[in-house]
Structure 1
Amino acid sequence: MKKFVTAVLAVITWALLSCSAEERQTLNLSKAVILVSPQIAGPLQETARTILVEEIEKRSGIALELGIDWKSDTQIALALAKDSNLFGKSIPSHADSDAPEQKEEGYRIYHESSNERNTLWVIGADARGILYGIGKLLRTAYLSEGKIEINRGIDFSESPQYALRGHQFGYRNTANSWDAWTVEQFDQHFREQVLFGGNAFENIPFQEASSSPHFKVDPQVMEVELSKICEKYGADYWVWTPAPHDLTQKGAHQEGLKTQEAFYAKCPRLDAVFVPGGDPGENHPAQLIPYLEDLSELLHQYHSDAGIWVSLQGFNKEKVTYFFEYLQTNSPDWLKGVVYGPSSPPIALERELLPEKYMHRFYPDITHTVRCHYPVENWDQAFALTLGREPCNPQPQMYTRLFNRDTPYTDGFITYSDGTHDDVNKVIWSQLGWDPAKDPKTIILEYTQFFFGPEVAEEAAQGIFLLEQNWDGPILENAAIEETLALWKRLEANHPDFGDNWRWQQLVMRAYYDAYIRNRLAFEKRLEGEAYEILAQADSMGADQAMAEAMQHLQKADTEPVSQDLKEKVFAYGEKLFQSIGAQTSVDMYQARSAERGAILDFIDYPLNNRWWMEDEFDKIRAFTSEAEKLARLAFIRTYEFPGEGSFYDNISSADAKHVTSKTNDAIDFLWENNGISRKRLSTQLFQFTPTLAYDKLDPHSDYLIRVSGYGEALLRANGQRLTPTKYEKGYEEFKEFPLPRELIRDGKLEISFDKPDEDHLNWRQQSRVTDVWVIKQ
């Protein structure tokens, strides 16, 4: 992979953002004339000046004039590095031919001052470079009502390290907002992505007009309009187009080509066609490769420079071997590159096997929080059950780490996104694509300055990082949640003018949502503990009476709910987001496609204790004929997580598990059943395949029993020795029991591990897992 060197010739002092105008050493551009090189080819000449004029006017109220000479005292000059002059004046250049503005897509922003004449140069290696320079200018200039200022003496240049930096924008019902957008909204959004360094957009065509109640534009029309927008901004237009499900069926191959050709013919711009090998697809490469070859020939009839890309998602070892042997033997020129996506072979291995002539594109999932490529690390189950899979999820720190871990194996990325909720993450990826060493704090400060203005930039940036901290670890131990709400409430009160800004709306909404869940979790956990105290009196009051009183107490979560003021704010912002960008935060209220697709309002009151499970258990117990049997079962329920003095219990993937030493692997809210409304124990909805646990306070003179709950097999080892079970049930909320030999814990320490069963042939949802572990002193 070719690495570009980023040269920083002068450091922009971000502390100036919070200084007064008098304290800042700034250049006043409020009367500047914009000069644009006539050498900028195609539509980008008009695009460049339009962006600069419009985006400055939006933020300052000042409409800068365009010029063709140097009569003004102050100019903003847009020029190409390869040109010797602009309207007769020499263009500043570095003596070093390796300067960033000489490299593809690179740019330089330079303040030239002489004899009280000031020129702010935006010099691009090419037309794209000029757009990226404009982006940097707009992100760092001090723009407010009646003011256009930038640091004097600025001399900043950079070129991107990764050639491909893009995001998927599927105009389809699956997305939780984009299907409600107009052409104008997409135009503005693509513009903003370019200004933050993006150079590619991927659509998902062939959507039926009847597939979404939110479509304002026929998807067959929109897929062409998106192509036009990409041409306008000089960005690559990609499409994600799966092959027919079964290419072995008669006529499937030709039917697939026919569908594609009609689309190719009507697109003014098309740079790449990505055909996933699986999810969906599932064709063998023996059938997929000939289809791709024919597809390439067809594509080149309409777009001669466009490339065919394929992923190996869902490929088993035999398919992977077949595919790479084909490349090694045939070295086809029709294939541009391979896309690494979820369920592809390991990213490092795929890069190693891929011949050097082919590019390697990353397809990272930056949009989902659970059941996904990058699940939220150390996430409390209460958030997973309520916020679900597609909430507003700004995670600048996490995605910076993941970017630098995985992207170096590739030539760049087009991220997987399904809505507006991951807007911050897109900017993080785009900017790291320019320089992986960029501090995420700098990126986020530019984000808040650009979208919210310099007066609020620092505090809003802090608020974004606090939102990420909200999700780190057990909710009830996380003091950041209250701090986050206080900050965003203060910003909300002090800046009502941002009330219509959809980015602002979803950030403030998250702060209220998180705080509501924290308060509700504390309340409902207390109710459950008090219900167990009632059940402890079952011997004296009778099983039926104890169950009735315990259930009545648990139902206070619904009859006496807490923090309804916070909940009302969440719903108010849900309405605002629907009005501003068509965000569908509820299936019933806003016709979200499904409960998984951003419907966070539908789960805001999902039980955060086990009351649904207990209610179902009580119904079973009432059918028992023996009081003794009822009491025994109630005692089991009451002590499920409290096995007694000297014993230990762990909910394996809970953020507050005390003895678990392994990390959860996308285990949060596993049991997605009944559209997310599972009534099983909360611990049953968490799991790990092969967890590890450690204990150091066992009594070496006592006998212990290790109890395991989960699903399927549990090949347990204690201090390295495989144990033999005396009880071995394999269903949900059933138990396996292993006596622990005393000689294994002579020092009072115990490490539990699990061997992985031979289940690679099974889908991960059918594989064995562990949900709860007890070490019970006998």
Structure 2
Amino acid sequence: MKIKRAILLILMVAGTLMSCTPEGAKDLNLTSAKILISPNIKSNMQETSATVLIEEIEKRTGISLEKDTNWDSNITIALALSSDNQLFGKELPFKSAEDAQELKKEGYRIYHASKDGHNTLWILGADARGVLYGIGKLLRTAKMKKGNISIDSNIDFSEAPEYALRGHQFGYRNTANSWDAWTVEQFDQHFREQVLFGANSFENIPFQAANSSPHFKIDPQIMEVELSRICEKYDAEYWVWTPAPHDLTIKNAHLQGLEEQEAFYAKCPRLDGVFVPGGDPGENHPAQLIPYLNDLSEILKKYHPDAGIWVSLQGFNKEKVDYFFEYLEKNNPVWLRGLVYGPSSPPIHLERKLLPEKYLHRFYPDITHTVRCQYPVENWDQAFALTLGREPTNPQPLMYTEIFNRDSKYTDGFITYSDGSHDDVNKAIWSQLGWDASKDPQEIVLEYSQFYFGPEVAEEATQGIFALEKNWDGPVLENTSIKESLALWKRLEGNNPQLVDNWRWQQLVMRAYYDAYIQDRLAFEKGLEVEAYEILANANSIGADKAMEEALRHLDKADSEMVSQELKKEVFSYGEKLFQSIGAQTSVEKYQARSAERGAVLDFIDYPLNNRWWLEDEFNKIKAFDSEAEKLARLEFISTYEFPGEGSFYDNVSSADAKHVTSKTDDAIDFLWENEGRSRKRLSTQLFQFTPALAYNGLDPNANYMIRVSGFGEALLRANGQLLEPTKYEKGFEEFKEFPLSKALIKDGELKLSFDKPDEEHLNWRKQSRVTDVWLIKQ
């Protein structure tokens, strides 16, 4: 009888521990699990690992698991080192093969073993970090809801990182659009979450003035040390980004910088890397920079003997690059740990080729910006560039997976460039690809959604994140994804009120509303502009002044009859929620963002998406003309600017809907930035490429054509490879160059246009020649 009862009890327990999902797969119920931790894990990480596991489960389920030192429980989560032979008297369930992932640095294995009615979820790490990464896998894949936590009972997963360095920059400074408002506790939680997704390094930007941000809750001199302590807590590397003094040619210029650095090094409980950018900022020649770095390394070794000095060649010309690599070849310096590849560095594959093998190569990819940056959003509509700007919420899992796999293979790992919380999805993508570059971004985002939003929401939220990336693909007015994305996020928003205070949720839902509002407004305002040109076409009959007056009155409907205000209201509501939850500064005036480029998306939500500002200024000029004939001629030119007539073609060269442009800019500086983003120039003038390429077919080989070019500076135009001579050559904005096209060049009706790049390397990009508009006009 006792035996039967015992068997029945075992079956009842097993039934509790194993539950079936709707799909029929068995789950291991961890609700009543006890946690056992190997005493061989270094002491501070024993505490950290247990705390992370217990707290993150409790936040999502309300269940507070307990630590134990015996095997009395029917379900156990065992945290141990792969090298352990036993844990509190119980042998590990298997012997790892020599090449097992859980034996490699930072590697882990998560494995369910069942014997005699007892279930153990083993998390075995090669080291303390490995154990923490195994916990991260558990938390990302477990199904957690109030009162319950379970995981696939067949789980047997192991991995070790493909890249040794996997980190993100978190500069506690005013240029960040949220972090300068954070407390130590918020940074602690955020660093923890990044580690749970596979990061092992964090980079700060120290030496900020205490009064440099109105949002600082903690003196930055204190925070820069606190961040070091947080890294020590999670056994993560602590790096700092510290530019050299501006001009090292001044005698003793570097001494003050060294003194400041030494005081900082002495305070930090942990410091692993010091990154000194060669440019952006920094204009020093390596002849001056190298001695400074050597001195810096001596001070660093004094306080942190295992730390390393790193430098980038950002902004270096060929002479500087040659000087630097010749120095390495001749001197073989021991003070240099490695080279950092960042924006405006030499090509990444060339840099790795020139770098001696003994030095490491770190990637510094910009995952935070959309325009005027290292990796622009491809095929981005100008309407988004003018409104969302440079630092909006920008989940781009597909784009960054492609970039990672293209460029990371030339490096030993990465610490990404980030300046806010808006790129949080991108951070998860990079961290996980650092473990396995072949990972499916869909899987990564699904784990992201499950961990932060819950298993019931995960699949749809994952769809929503990919939909937001699709929103940015190509012309806004042709993109059906924008309204579909909004419908999805509105449904998720309505069905999940429990997520209303989740900042990651807030910024994703906000983007869906914002994108849809811009689409509606663009359609309305573009329509107004077309109708205004129709009014101007009647100027001959109603008079120039009356035509301008009526056209402007019609254009002003964009401000007096604004569309889709319910969407705009939701955007502003989420802007307030984000400021309250994480101090996100989506407006300069309202939330004291550092500047208009730093995430101030609310300030540009109603920026004109047609040329009404430009037309208003043009009309004021035209009214001063002496004769009606002059006025009418100018109005005709304006109304036909983009409509050159049958058999002729016009292209705004960087517009997402350009029909004949075959080239793309490679660094997204093709969106002009002036007057804090409130340029009154014609919209096409605010887009440009330095050397665009265009292609036409089906041209009339018996017709005469003229090519007109607008832009700034030079335009060295080639037609089917032949350099053309201009008959008109104006160099200012919204002035024109004209080139006759020989019939002999288009015998087959095909035409390819290209532009030679003038020798302007000595000029800042803002002063270099560029092309904005191209016409092919049939005479």
* Equivalence for 1:134: 135
* Equivalence for 2:648: 647
Counterpart Cα distance in 2 of 1:722 and 1:336: 48
User: For the Cα contact (< 8 Å) 1:247–1:287, is it kept in 2?
Assistant: yes
Q: Which TM-score applies when normalising by structure 2?
A: 0.97
1:753-773 residue CA offsets vs partner (Å, 9 max, x unmatched)? 111212222222222111111
In the TM superposition, 1:43-82 aligns within 5 A as: 43-82=44-83
Counterpart Cα distance in 2 of 1:668 and 1:629: 36
Counterpart Cα distance in 2 of 1:655 and 1:665: 15
Q: CA deviation at 1:23?
A: 3.0
Aligned letter for 2:266? Answer: A
Q: CA deviation at 1:546?
A: 0.2
* Equivalence for 2:596: 595
Q: Taking every aligned residue pair, what percent have the same amino acid on both sides?
A: 77
Counterpart Cα distance in 1 of 2:434 and 2:600: 31
1:213 is aligned to 2:214: yes
Q: How many residues align?
A: 761
Counterpart Cα distance in 2 of 1:618 and 1:93: 82
Counterpart Cα distance in 1 of 2:729 and 2:759: 18
Q: CA deviation at 1:695?
A: 1.1
* Equivalence for 1:149: 150
* Equivalence for 2:16: none
Shifted more, 21-30 versus 743-752: the winner is 21-30
Counterpart Cα distance in 2 of 1:342 and 1:28: 48
1:393-451 residue CA offsets vs partner (Å, 9 max, x unmatched)? 00000000000001110000000000000000000000000000000000000000000
In the TM superposition, 1:679-698 aligns within 5 A as: 679-698=680-699
Shifted more, 597-606 versus 80-89: the winner is 80-89
User: For the Cα contact (< 8 Å) 1:269–1:303, is it kept in 2?
Assistant: yes
* Equivalence for 1:636: 637
User: For the Cα contact (< 8 Å) 2:381–2:656, is it kept in 1?
Assistant: yes
User: For the Cα contact (< 8 Å) 2:649–2:775, is it kept in 1?
Assistant: yes
Q: CA deviation at 1:95?
A: 4.6
Aligned letter for 2:169? Answer: Q
* Equivalence for 1:5: none
SS for the counterpart of 1:527 is helix
* Equivalence for 1:699: 700
SS for the counterpart of 2:695 is strand
SS for the counterpart of 2:122 is strand
User: For the Cα contact (< 8 Å) 2:385–2:671, is it kept in 1?
Assistant: no
* Equivalence for 1:102: 103
User: For the Cα contact (< 8 Å) 1:112–1:153, is it kept in 2?
Assistant: no
Q: CA deviation at 1:22?
A: 7.6
Counterpart Cα distance in 2 of 1:407 and 1:63: 40
* Equivalence for 1:178: 179
* Equivalence for 2:31: 30
1:614-660 residue CA offsets vs partner (Å, 9 max, x unmatched)? 00000000000100000000000000000011110000010001111
Aligned letter for 1:337? Answer: G
1:510-555 residue CA offsets vs partner (Å, 9 max, x unmatched)? 0000000000000000000000000000001000000000000000
Counterpart Cα distance in 1 of 2:615 and 2:666: 28
1:619 is aligned to 2:645: no
* Equivalence for 1:39: 40
Counterpart Cα distance in 1 of 2:338 and 2:163: 15
User: For the Cα contact (< 8 Å) 1:177–1:583, is it kept in 2?
Assistant: yes
1:20-49 residue CA offsets vs partner (Å, 9 max, x unmatched)? 468331011101100001111131110000
Counterpart Cα distance in 2 of 1:327 and 1:546: 69
Counterpart Cα distance in 2 of 1:91 and 1:124: 12
* Equivalence for 2:295: 294
User: For the Cα contact (< 8 Å) 1:122–1:134, is it kept in 2?
Assistant: yes
SS for the counterpart of 1:190 is helix
User: For the Cα contact (< 8 Å) 1:388–1:598, is it kept in 2?
Assistant: yes
* Equivalence for 1:360: 361
Counterpart Cα distance in 1 of 2:669 and 2:457: 35
Structure 2: 5+ residue runs without aligned partners? 1-19
Q: Which TM-score applies when normalising by structure 1?
A: 0.97
Counterpart Cα distance in 1 of 2:602 and 2:115: 59
User: For the Cα contact (< 8 Å) 1:384–1:669, is it kept in 2?
Assistant: no
Provide the alpha-carbon RMSD of the alignment: 1.1
Counterpart Cα distance in 2 of 1:441 and 1:596: 30
Counterpart Cα distance in 2 of 1:291 and 1:207: 21
* Equivalence for 1:331: 332
1:505 is aligned to 2:506: yes
Counterpart Cα distance in 2 of 1:743 and 1:377: 36
Aligned letter for 1:151? Answer: D
* Equivalence for 1:227: 228
Aligned letter for 1:318? Answer: E
User: For the Cα contact (< 8 Å) 1:165–1:198, is it kept in 2?
Assistant: yes
SS for the counterpart of 2:675 is coil
SS for the counterpart of 2:707 is strand
1:56-113 residue CA offsets vs partner (Å, 9 max, x unmatched)? 1111111111100111111000000111111111123445211000000000000001
1:675 is aligned to 2:676: yes
Aligned letter for 1:468? Answer: E
User: For the Cα contact (< 8 Å) 2:373–2:669, is it kept in 1?
Assistant: no
Structure 1: 5+ residue runs without aligned partners? 1-18
In the TM superposition, 1:736-747 aligns within 5 A as: 736-747=737-748
Counterpart Cα distance in 1 of 2:251 and 2:663: 49
1:161-202 residue CA offsets vs partner (Å, 9 max, x unmatched)? 000000000000000000000000000000000000000000
1:124 is aligned to 2:125: yes
When residues 22 and 348 of structure 1 are mapped into structure 2, their CA distance, relative to the original with a 3 A threshold, is closer
Aligned letter for 1:533? Answer: E
SS for the counterpart of 1:383 is helix
Q: CA deviation at 1:51?
A: 0.4
SS for the counterpart of 1:547 is helix
SS for the counterpart of 2:376 is coil
1:716-752 residue CA offsets vs partner (Å, 9 max, x unmatched)? 1112221111001111111010111112112222111
1:518 is aligned to 2:523: no
* Equivalence for 1:456: 457
Counterpart Cα distance in 2 of 1:678 and 1:255: 41
When residues 95 and 273 of structure 1 are mapped into structure 2, their CA distance, relative to the original with a 3 A threshold, is closer
1:342 is aligned to 2:304: no
Q: CA deviation at 1:664?
A: 3.0
User: For the Cα contact (< 8 Å) 2:374–2:668, is it kept in 1?
Assistant: no
SS for the counterpart of 1:675 is helix
1:468 is aligned to 2:487: no
User: For the Cα contact (< 8 Å) 1:385–1:669, is it kept in 2?
Assistant: no
Counterpart Cα distance in 2 of 1:245 and 1:538: 58
SS for the counterpart of 1:209 is coil
In the TM superposition, 1:385-400 aligns within 5 A as: 385-400=386-401
Aligned letter for 2:778? Answer: K
Aligned letter for 2:115? Answer: S
Aligned letter for 2:690? Answer: F
SS for the counterpart of 2:461 is helix
Aligned letter for 1:550? Answer: A
Aligned letter for 1:470? Answer: N
SS for the counterpart of 1:379 is coil
Counterpart Cα distance in 2 of 1:698 and 1:146: 71
Counterpart Cα distance in 1 of 2:581 and 2:86: 45
User: For the Cα contact (< 8 Å) 2:21–2:27, is it kept in 1?
Assistant: no
Q: CA deviation at 1:264?
A: 0.5
Counterpart Cα distance in 2 of 1:95 and 1:305: 31
Q: CA deviation at 1:670?
A: 2.5
Aligned letter for 2:531? Answer: E
User: For the Cα contact (< 8 Å) 1:667–1:688, is it kept in 2?
Assistant: no
1:255 is aligned to 2:256: yes
* Equivalence for 1:319: 320
Counterpart Cα distance in 2 of 1:505 and 1:104: 37
* Equivalence for 2:203: 202
Counterpart Cα distance in 2 of 1:627 and 1:553: 22
Aligned letter for 2:570? Answer: K
